[in-house]
Amino acid sequence: MDHTPIHFHYLQQKLQEWKANDLLFPPLQLSWMRFQEVATRDILPVLHEARAILEAEGLDVSITDLDEETRSLGLYVKDVGLFFTASDDARTIHLTARRLNAEEAGYESRLRYESANGDALRRLVEETLLRLLGPRRAKPVNQ
């Protein structure tokens, strides 16, 4: 005799819906899982491309490994650091960039995992490097 479950249809439907929308994992765990995938597939290749360009111009560049403790990936060039991290919301990647020896504010941006592809990341990294590596503007003198 074949027993087909006839009860808990709504529960089964909701569990399938939650699973399809990644709602059964804690957000921090889900964010780290997504970040690792995107970092390996998309972010690292872009950072290696940027490093090749920067090194061709004589700049020293280093790329940090994907770090589980800080849940981040970084690029350092001159006195500038770019840090990609897994956000707490499990939906976005967080980029923080700043001059490491200056007190001035840095640059922050968020990028949805769904739109984190090579082209979007190249534009973001290029814009960030241009902002932070470019010459500083002189402050006007009050007279």
Domain ranges of the chain: 24-133
pTM for the predicted model, two decimal places: 0.76
Tens digits of per-residue pLDDT, 39-86?
999 999 999 999 999 999 999 999 999 988 888 999 999 889 999 998
Q: Using alpha carbons only, what angle is made at residue 71 by residues 61 and 33, rounded to the nearest 5 degrees?
A: 120
Tens digits of per-residue pLDDT, 22-33?
666 677 777 888
Give the C-alpha distances (Å, rounded to integers) separating 10 from 6, 14, 37, 42, 48.
Answer: 11, 6, 32, 38, 48
> What per-residue confidence (pLDDT) applies to 143?
47
Give the H or E element holding residue 110. Answer: strand 107-112
3-state helix, strand, coil in the chain (%, to 5): 45, 20, 35
CA dihedral (99, 103, 105, 108) positive or negative = positive
